[in-house]
Amino acid sequence: MKTIAFLIATAMLFCSCKSAVEWREYLGGPERNHYSTLDQINTNNVNQLEKAWEFHTGDTSGQMQCNPIIVDGVMYVATASVEVIALDAATGQEKWRYNNASSKEWFSKSRGVVYWREGSDQRILFSAGHYLYALNAMDGKLIHSFGDSGRVDLKTGLGEKAKDRFVAAPTPGTVFKHSIIIPLHLSESAGAAPGYIQCFDIKTGSLQWVFKTIPGPGEFGYETWEKDNYTNEEVGGANTWAGMSIDREREMLFVPTGSAAFDFYGGNRKGDNLFANCLLALDANTGKRIWHYQFTHHDVWDRDLPAPPNLIRIKRNGRMIDAVAQITKQGFVFVFERETGKPVFPIDELPVTTDGVEGEVLSPTQPIPRIPKPFARNLLSERDINPSAENYDELMQRFRGYRKNLYDPPSKEGTIIFPGFDGGGEWGGAAFDPETGYLYVNANEMPWILKLNDAVKNNTNRSLSYGNKIYIKYCISCHRSDLQGNEKSGYPSLVGIASRRSRLYVEKIIGGGKGMMPGFPQITSADKKALVDFLLKTEPKEAVGNKEVEYSSIPYTFDGYNKFLDKNGYPAITPPWGTLTAIDLNTGEHVWQRPLGEFKELSAKGMSVTGTENYGGGIVTKGGLFFIAATKDSMFRAFDKKTGKLIWETVLPTSSFASSSTYEVNGIQYIVLSVGGAKLGMKKGDSFIAYRLKSQKP
């Protein structure tokens, strides 16, 4: 009996140790803290890192944003087109690959996969398009007993409104017992699907529960919308797309939600709009609400919560607190007691401007945390316009014509969104160090211009083809009336697309989306043909005429995602344009902040390091280090986590816009990251690269 007890205890200790050296879940664990207890690589030897291996996926069809997971010496990754690959984590050798045509979505992107195990049943779950798939983790084959021959439709619990609407799920789901809760990416325009939170059984694929983020009659929060908004065909969104955190001991799920759609006008959804822009604490077993906090009332600025919350433990006024911290696009950190939702630091409801466009009814107040202070600038003045810009006078004139306070509403003259549509904080999320209580967050400081135009009610212009009218309805806000797009803001030109892309490619993009563009599956076959004919310049002469197109009832259209840049393509404001900040959440005080990223050509002219836009998060380790890539300059860096001093960096083949992972195999610690570029004008890549110490070669 003693021998059996000893063996059980030893096995439990072994499993615990294994978990500590692996990276089993998205962002490192259920707390989403990007933290590892590994310390073989530390401040004394990090300058001895070298490339251990590089694996080329052969897939450069889009953005690689995958955070690899590592279990039992096997690394599981997803490519740009959502092929799932298992690698030997020590060598980078491919073990198996799943690229079945039914799941391959070259217009999708993936931030990673989910591993689940019960006894000998080991599964990899991932999403492509609007389906959730289950694979055997040992050989990569579909598990046909899951859902419909291995997949589940992620529109299952969304109701009829979602039937012909765009739905995808690029961020990995969250596991609780034998269930998985899935975050959804939706359109942000009128007619978006509802962003309900759905829980599925991992074994069978059956729907377990649904939390309605747009409540119906008799449900909590219903009165914060206009009557029957839950059935309104033009009101949707309020989805969680960035991922969730889970306290498995308390059986509590923490869900950050985004704005209601249409993003930039809410005259048809008057009220605070619960549960958009909220942190939701739910019972993980049932989906029942325990508590919530709303960060932006009646959002018309696209202030989605951009990252999973961090589940943390801090010491405040001599008391240890199990807390949850949520970063925002505005550059704020909100901290709450985990069980009750009580704020750890004071939050003020402050008065804001309410003079929006005609028909809009804005909230008279918005919540602002007193501490911590913002980790990114969120207010601009004339002093912030870059005096070294060659077209400074023009920039200043434009700046004076814009609305520019933090909660100034969308306008016809233009409103500055700062620190930007992409944050401030963004989907890479924050890292938390349990040793110190420090939160590490990388941020963008990029001003964008939000402008509204009067919408076209109907279009009988005899000089326009029907395909052109369809283009005006769906495409003009991003790609402009002249089809030139906005390359600097990430929206490609469609001029001459017939010479670059096939008809099939264009049709698939329209239906399924790609990169930042959502798909438009609701477009009829006839309308899609007319639109593609217009884009490819293959329209018959009879296409020009007075055939009408039915437009949205919303009175305004969005002028597109336009960055406020100088004539050379740099931000119109003074640096820093990207930052890395360490915040002590025991006190709420900033410990250090530094620019993150560099424009080499500006440094060569004697300018101080400016920082760059950055996408993807970092990792913090017991070895005293904070690792991060994420920047436009294609560098991978390590900082001293206590001081912020840069102590190691290396050049990557292209930029890594993803979160890295660390793990140990055969006594050797590795750092791995996906290197895919394909954003901010960077060249495409297709590799996963792992680093180890030179002295630790197998």
List, for residues 612-667, the tens digit of each pLDDT value: 999 999 999 999 999 999 999 999 999 999 999 999 999 999 999 999 999 999 99
- The residue range of the domain holding 497 is 456-551
Average pLDDT of the residues of the chain: 93
Asked whether the predicted pLDDT for residue 463 surpasses 70, the reply is yes
3-state secondary structure 426-472: CCCCCEEECCCCEEEEEEECCCEEEEEEECCCCCCCCCCEHHHHHHH
Q: What pLDDT, on the 0 to 100 scale, is given for residue 540?
A: 84
Is 532 inside any structural domain?
A: yes
Buried b (16+ CB within 10 A) or exposed e, 444-469: bbbbbbbbbeebeeebeeeebbbbbb
Q: Are residues 608 and 643 in the same domain?
A: yes
Closest Cα to residue 275, out of 317, 337, 220?
Answer: 220
Tell me the mean pLDDT in the region 411-416.
98
Which CATH number fits the domain that encloses residue 524?
A: 1.10.760.10
Q: Are residues 584 and 671 in the same domain?
A: yes
**pLDDT tens digits, one per residue of 347-363:** 999 999 999 999 999 99
Q: Are 477 and 560 in contact (CB under 8 A)?
A: yes
Residue with tokens 């076959």: 525
**pLDDT tens digits, one per residue of 190-208:** 999 999 999 999 999 999 9
Cα–Cα dist 134/173, whole Å: 12
Task: Please state the domain count of the chain.
Answer: 2
Residue with tokens 């563009």: 517
Q: Are residues 537 and 635 in the same domain?
A: no
549 confidence band (pLDDT: 50, 70, 90) = confident
Tell me the mean pLDDT in the region 327-343.
98
Is 381 inside any structural domain?
A: no
Tell me the mean pLDDT in the region 681-689.
95
Q: Are residues 546 and 583 in the same domain?
A: no
In this structure, what token pair is assigned to residue 154?
Answer: 């992620």
Tell me the mean pLDDT in the region 158-173.
94
Domain boundary among 499, 517, 551: 551
Closest Cα to residue 438, out of 333, 365, 304?
Answer: 333
Q: What pLDDT, on the 0 to 100 scale, is given for residue 2?
A: 45
Tell me the mean pLDDT in the region 23-27.
98
597 contacts: CB under 8 Å, gap ≥ 6: 577, 578, 609, 610, 611, 612, 613, 614, 630, 631, 632, 633, 635
Q: Are residues 529 and 632 in the same domain?
A: no
Domain boundary among 536, 551, 566: 551
Q: How far apart are the first and last CA of the chain?
A: 39
Closest Cα to residue 685, out of 651, 662, 652?
Answer: 652
- Comparing 691 with 481, the larger pLDDT belongs to 691
**pLDDT tens digits, one per residue of 36-75:** 999 999 999 999 999 999 999 999 988 999 999 999 999 9
Cα–Cα dist 170/63, whole Å: 11
Q: Are residues 623 and 672 in the same domain?
A: yes
Closest Cα to residue 268, out of 322, 232, 293?
Answer: 232
Q: Are residues 530 and 465 in the same domain?
A: yes
In this structure, what token pair is assigned to residue 338?
Answer: 């985990």
What is the 8-class DSSP label of residue 385?
A: B
Distances (CA, A) of 373 to 196, 564, 588: 32, 25, 8
Is 663 inside any structural domain?
A: yes
Q: What pLDDT, on the 0 to 100 scale, is given for residue 182?
A: 97
Q: What pLDDT, on the 0 to 100 scale, is given for residue 13?
A: 41
CA 91 to chain centre: 30
Tell me the mean pLDDT in the region 516-542.
83
Q: What pLDDT, on the 0 to 100 scale, is given for residue 633?
A: 97
Q: Are residues 646 and 689 in the same domain?
A: yes
Q: How many other CB atoms are found less than 10 A from the CB of residue 136? A: 16
Domain boundary among 516, 551, 586: 551
12 confidence band (pLDDT: 50, 70, 90) = very low
Q: Are residues 519 and 589 in the same domain?
A: no
Q: What pLDDT, on the 0 to 100 scale, is given for residue 511?
A: 79
Cα–Cα dist 439/422, whole Å: 20
Residue with tokens 């890479």: 428
Tell me the mean pLDDT in the region 510-536.
82
Is 588 inside any structural domain?
A: yes
68 contacts: CB under 8 Å, gap ≥ 6: 23, 75, 76, 77, 112, 661, 672, 673, 674, 688
Is 429 inside any structural domain?
A: no
Is 501 inside any structural domain?
A: yes
Q: Are residues 462 and 533 in the same domain?
A: yes
Q: Are residues 510 and 589 in the same domain?
A: no
211 confidence band (pLDDT: 50, 70, 90) = very high
Closest Cα to residue 51, out of 544, 675, 472, 513?
Answer: 675
Residue with tokens 């010496």: 73
Is 659 inside any structural domain?
A: yes
Tell me the mean pLDDT in the region 686-698.
93
Is 500 inside any structural domain?
A: yes
Q: Are residues 582 and 693 in the same domain?
A: yes
Distances (CA, A) of 329 to 106, 277, 431: 29, 11, 16
Ramachandran bin of 317, using left for φ above 0, alpha for ψ from -120 to 50, beta for the remaining angles: left
Buried b (16+ CB within 10 A) or exposed e, 499-536: eebeeeebbbbbbbbbbebbbbbebeeebbbbbbbbbb
